Structure 1
Amino acid sequence: MILLERQTSETQKMLEALVQRLPISHSKYTLYCEHLRRLQAGFAGEQFVDAKWLELDLPFPHYFLHDFQTMNDFGSTHQMDTVFLCPHFVLILEIKNITGKLSYDASFAQLTRTIADDTVEGMTDPFLQLERHVVWMKKLLQKERIDLPVLHAVVLATKNGILTKGFDGLPIFHVAGLRFYLQKWMERHQPRVRVDLLRFANLLLSLQTKLKKEVEVPFKEIVKGVLCPQCGSGQRLKYHYKKWICPRCGLVDRDALIRSLEEYRLLVGQQVTNRSFREFFGIDSPDLAYKLMQQLPLKAEGVKKHRKYWIKE
């Protein structure tokens, strides 16, 4: 049973909105695009592994928390790609969608990959990340007096990530080996029949915290206005007779207002004023801005020129 669905991260959505509105000539355009590409590839890999779980026959109570995010008592964050709970154990997975020849040096806690043109790239050590998560999970289980072992593994979502001998003995495998390793772990760990698995799963769910990773938004340099989703390249829609119309392709966009408000939330924030609305949406008239804002899910505070609005969740 999936208690926590995997969703597109706020950081990815921010970058998608930003890339749409940033001129290609901007000095950081390529940097933002590369960051977005990595996030999209990672998300696609996570979804692929999620789908592989569905192919397994699991004839016992089990719970999934995908992209579980929380904070420990010291204010440090934990972000676990998948937490799998069953009567045998708790399993924490770190999912990687990376290609190339992968090498690992445990003495330096260093993961590298070599791609086709022999470029070597350093990457974050996933085993150190997992060990932090395991320590946190074990403390929570101990606090709740729950006797369950905590396992961890790195799962490669693509067969094009080639493992070398440096990974011998480490908990890492390709997603095709998920069934094999799951069976192996279950044979090693007998089920705890007295564990209230659902209670612990709900406890974890109550500790879920949305961890927002900030993206630096060069607000003055982004393209303002309501943009055409078909044309791209910063093509602005015209508001004519209560319709948003693209003068280039002729699209009549009925979702323009809501979509642009979501982009505003991602790139600017939750608070909206008539002035900030006009600046972002490319509208000159305060009266028109007011009328359009009445159509949106906004909560008003204050009166007249001091009025502010908040985007409803």
Structure 2
Amino acid sequence: MDYFFQIDTLLLNPHFCLVLEVKNYSGHLYFDGDYKQLIRTKDDKKDIFDCPIQQVKRQVFHLSKIIELNKLPTIPIESLVVFTHPKAHIESSPNYYEALKMVIKSPLLSERISDLYRKYSKQVYSPKEIKKMVRTLKKYNEPYDPNLIKKYEIDPKHLFNGVLCPICETNTMEYIRTNWKCPICNTTSKKEHIAALTDYALLISTTISNKECKEYLKLTSSSKAYHLLSSLNFPYTGSTKSRIYHLDSLISDK
């Protein structure tokens, strides 16, 4: 395969596959069926996200291609978008029927799975085919690390460290207390480091240490780097001092 895709959770059994796209968003979440986007309103601020329904549909398509390429029996593949945050208020435009069918909150998950067992009572995969499917998925499983520096032979010395001001676009912002502030135009932001870390994941690596984050974002202390990385809830490995954060979620479906 010459492309990558990421599945949050895959439930595999002899009757069907279930692909889950899991989100932990809070606030008012509106699924816009006209433009296929998710609009979150929180603290009087609106954020626009790629629609997770479209994400999970792409995942189903790619999974079906893997099954086809490896000559496995065709099995029903269902998908759900699951919101885990208890303070998520979900709505959709009236014409977005897929949202009504596919989007649920986590307490309903067990009920939906039971419904699928009733819907797909026929066994499609034998235990042997289940094992083959697992081996196949493990064979394809590898972390997505674009490593554009190596691909395009970029000298890392030419990369620009720091958080760019979204207004000036050439000036580095400073992290003061809990805000990024541009010393030239005084623009402030609480989340501008996310764009910088996304660039890091795309250009350098999908993993980052506390020290690397401090240097890359031009922070004045390791505690600030720890606070920013922890606040984004990235998966991590290792103990506190040697902790490595995984940034894959920043570049999923990009």
Question: What interval of TM-score do these two structures reach, taking the shorter chain for normalisation?
Answer: 0.5 to 0.7
Residue 112 (structure 1) aligns with? 39
Residue 101 (structure 1) aligns with? 28
Decide which of 97, 105, 111 is 1:174's aligned counterpart.
105
TM-score calculated relative to the size of structure 1: 0.46
Quote the Cα distance in structure 2 between the aligned partners of 1:78 and 1:233: 32
Deviating beyond 6 angstroms after TM superposition, the runs of 4 or more aligned structure 1 residues are none
Aligned pairs, number: 163
Which amino acid in 2 is paired with 1:203?
T
Give the C-alpha shift of residue 110 in structure 1: 1.3
- 1:122 is paired with a residue of what secondary structure? strand
Indicate conservation of the 8 Å contact 1:80/1:133, yes or no.
yes
Residue 205 (structure 1) aligns with? 138
Return 5+ residue gaps in structure 1 as ranges.
1-72, 235-254, 267-313
- 2:132 is paired with a residue of what secondary structure? helix
C-alpha change, 1:191 and 1:87, in structure 2 (3 Å) is farther
Decide which of 62, 76, 80 is 1:136's aligned counterpart.
62
Quote the Cα distance in structure 2 between the aligned partners of 1:163 and 1:219: 36
Residue 189 (structure 1) aligns with? 120
Give the C-alpha shift of residue 176 in structure 1: 0.1
Indicate conservation of the 8 Å contact 2:73/2:124, yes or no.
no
C-alpha change, 1:182 and 1:95, in structure 2 (3 Å) is same
Per-residue displacement from partner, 1:135-185 (whole Å, max 9, x unpaired)? 111112223231211111100011211111436533010110011100111
Indicate conservation of the 8 Å contact 1:148/1:192, yes or no.
no
Matches within 5 A, 1:270-289: none
Say what the alpha-carbon RMSD is for the aligned residues. Answer: 3.2
C-alpha change, 1:223 and 1:207, in structure 2 (3 Å) is same
Quote the Cα distance in structure 1 between the aligned partners of 2:23 and 2:135: 27
TM-score calculated relative to the size of structure 2: 0.55
Return 5+ residue gaps in structure 2 as ranges.
146-200, 205-212, 226-237, 247-254
- 1:123 is paired with a residue of what secondary structure? strand
Quote the Cα distance in structure 2 between the aligned partners of 1:107 and 1:233: 41
Give the C-alpha shift of residue 259 in structure 1: 4.3
C-alpha change, 1:220 and 1:179, in structure 2 (3 Å) is closer
Indicate conservation of the 8 Å contact 1:80/1:92, yes or no.
yes
Per-residue displacement from partner, 1:43-87 (whole Å, max 9, x unpaired)? xxxxxxxxxxxxxxxxxxxxxxxxxxxxxx3x3321111011011
C-alpha change, 1:233 and 1:125, in structure 2 (3 Å) is closer
Moved more, 133-142 or 185-194: 185-194
Residue 123 (structure 1) aligns with? 49
Residue 14 (structure 2) aligns with? 87
Matched residues, percent identical? 20
- 2:118 is paired with a residue of what secondary structure? helix
Matches within 5 A, 1:146-295: 146-166=73-93, 168=97, 169-195=100-126, 196-212=129-145, 213-214=201-202, 218-219=215-216, 221=218, 232=223, 259=241
